[in-house]
Amino acid sequence: MAAERFCEPLHWLTGAQRAEMERRFEEEYLTLARASWQRTAERAGGLRQEYEAAYRALRRRLLMAWLPACVLGIVGLALCLAQGTVAP
């Protein structure tokens, strides 16, 4: 346990003082750990939203590029078939 290791070199502490020091150390450690995990979770949520927005924007740009290309290809093929330049 980290609290015990922290208090180990403090030989002058009484048993009650050592227990109180360990309790306070543990309490502070857990508070800091929770805060750290909370910040990590919040940041992960923010990054997820940013990446999802970027993905949607890229998908929209790709669709806007491919859709006209497909339409032009179909129109070009239809014109070639209408003129008889491409064998069916």
- Minimum mean pLDDT range among 30-34, 73-77, 81-85: 81-85
Q: What is the pLDDT of residue 65?
A: 92
> What does the pLDDT look like over 25-68, one tens digit per residue?
999 999 999 999 999 999 999 999 999 999 999 999 999 999 99
Between the CA of residue 35 and those of 9, 22, 38, 41, what are the distances in Å?
A: 28, 20, 5, 10
CB atoms under 10 Å from CB of 66, counted, come to: 10
Closest CA relative to residue 21, chosen from 6, 39, 38: 6
